């Protein structure tokens, strides 16, 4: 395929970590009701309110807008870390005449098909409410009831039946596939981690939030006498199919273990900055043998170039040195690392990117990850289809209009 001189063809990046419903929080959590600066707990309060209120119909509408925004920003595939499974109160959908089985999961699948993005649904096990800093297990709160299958057996059974439902929805299009996730070591007990290690299909990608905040490490040490990484290793989950999301607060033993296992590491730089989580040891993890990928997590920003740039810029701020990751390395994390993390095969999804904008004029093509933004993407091709052109989705139109319709139809989120 020949290209004009003012554009370059680029393999399309992959978003390895997403919570679609968190998009509701953009621009709403930086200040509390009393005017004080919004902290993590302000953010968490808004997140739980959104989780408590979403219906399958509203979630499909929201996720369609989110996935359309991803597509026009240049993402070709997304790993959706999904734990919003059940009705408020925890009753499964499809029981007692309340909607179809797997209603929330199928809402995400339909949204992905509408947007034309490859979706790996990382169906998440979430069984307890957390751990105190003293290591005591917390019961599920009212909102968390929606997240839980009550037992690891219940999660495994629902996960197995979900595979068939997704395959039927995909109908051979090649857009939808199923993976798995453990929410965190705070939400799943060691015995249940071991059951997942023994019984989950070893071919499936498995993701876990890991050491996002120091409090998680302190609670895990108090409860189990080891770090979250150490607990996963004891359970038999540390391996090449595992992707640790965030991996921000690790010690040298953790880094060596993740590297030796050739585990995936999903960094989410814009979210980690937005929430004040910290800067993870990305360079050390890569040098130890781990495989880096990138995700947008809560979608404070949806721009694959800004995630790539933030990975290198965070390393510069942390180390005081430039060039901690080369342009090729951050491009590899955005593309090949994401495919590996989600268990996706290599494909021909690609972007056409402007090289003559105010941001990119004069840039060497290999260094575009350090100058371009999503505004420079002219075309997005996924699964053999032109799905976006000049910031507009070819079938769904302007994602901004999709968001406007969602917020107009669901004023409780406005």
Alpha carbon separation from 381 to 307, 318, 388, 390 (Å, rounded) = 20, 36, 7, 12
- Say if CB 14 and CB 343 are below 8 A apart: no
Catalytic residue numbers read 246, 297
What six digits make up the tokens of 282?
């990305």
C-alpha to C-alpha distance for 126 and 12, rounded to whole angstroms:
32
- Say if CB 49 and CB 33 are below 8 A apart: no
What six digits make up the tokens of 148?
């839980």
E-state strands within 338-414: 350-354, 377-382, 385-389, 392-393
Q: Hey, is 12 helix, strand or coil?
A: coil
Biggest alpha carbon distance in the chain? 62
What six digits make up the tokens of 43?
């953010």
What six digits make up the tokens of 12?
């399309």
Alpha carbon separation from 90 to 141, 152, 334 (Å, rounded) = 11, 15, 36
DSSP 297: B
C-alpha to C-alpha distance for 250 and 396, rounded to whole angstroms:
42
CA 37 to chain centre: 26
C-alpha to C-alpha distance for 340 and 196, rounded to whole angstroms:
21
Strand partners, 386: 381
Strand partners, 81: 122
């Amino acid at each position: 395929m020949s290209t004009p001189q003012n554009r370059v063809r680029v393999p399309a990046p992959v978003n390895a970590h997403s919570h679609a419903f968190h998009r509701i929080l953009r621009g709403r959590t930086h200040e509390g009701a009393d005017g004080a600066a919004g902290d993590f707990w302000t953010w968490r309060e808004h997140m739980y309110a959104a989780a408590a209120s979403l219906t399958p119909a509203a979630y499909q509408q929201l996720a369609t807008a989110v996935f359309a925004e991803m597509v026009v920003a240049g993402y070709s595939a997304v790993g959706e870390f999904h734990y919003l499974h059940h009705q408020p109160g925890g009753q499964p959908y499809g029981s007692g005449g309340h909607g179809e089985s797997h209603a929330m999961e199928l809402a995400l699948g339909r949204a992905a098909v509408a947007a034309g993005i490859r979706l790996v649904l990382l169906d998440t096990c979430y069984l307890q409410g957390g751990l105190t800093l003293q290591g005591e297990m917390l019961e599920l709160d009212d909102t968390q009831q929606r997240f839980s299958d009550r037992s690891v057996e219940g999660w495994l059974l629902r996960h197995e039946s979900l595979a068939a439902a997704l395959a039927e929805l995909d109908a051979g299009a090649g857009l939808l596939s199923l993976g798995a996730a453990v929410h965190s070591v705070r939400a799943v007990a060691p015995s249940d981690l071991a059951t997942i290690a023994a019984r989950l299909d070893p071919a499936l990608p498995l993701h876990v939030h890991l050491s996002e905040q120091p409090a998680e490490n302190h609670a895990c040490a108090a409860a189990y006498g080891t770090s979250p990484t150490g607990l996963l290793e004891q359970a038999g989950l540390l391996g090449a199919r595992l992707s640790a999301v965030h991996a921000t607060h690790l010690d040298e033993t953790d880094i060596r273990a993740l590297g030796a296992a050739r585990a995936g590491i999903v960094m989410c730089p814009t979210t980690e900055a937005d929430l004040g989580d910290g800067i993870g040891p990305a360079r050390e993890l890569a040098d130890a043998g781990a495989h880096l990928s990138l995700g947008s997590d809560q979608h404070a920003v949806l721009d694959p170039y800004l995630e790539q740039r933030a990975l290198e810029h965070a390393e510069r701020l942390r180390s005081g040195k430039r060039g901690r990751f080369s342009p090729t390395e951050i491009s590899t994390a955005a593309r090949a690392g994401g495919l590996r993390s989600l268990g996706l095969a290599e494909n021909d999804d690609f972007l056409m990117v402007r090289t003559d904008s105010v941001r990119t004029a004069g840039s060497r093509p290999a260094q575009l990850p350090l100058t371009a933004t999503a505004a420079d993407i002219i075309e997005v091709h996924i699964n053999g289809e032109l799905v976006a052109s000049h910031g507009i989705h070819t079938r769904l139109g302007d994602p901004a209009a999709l968001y406007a319709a969602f917020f107009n139809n669901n004023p409780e989120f406005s």
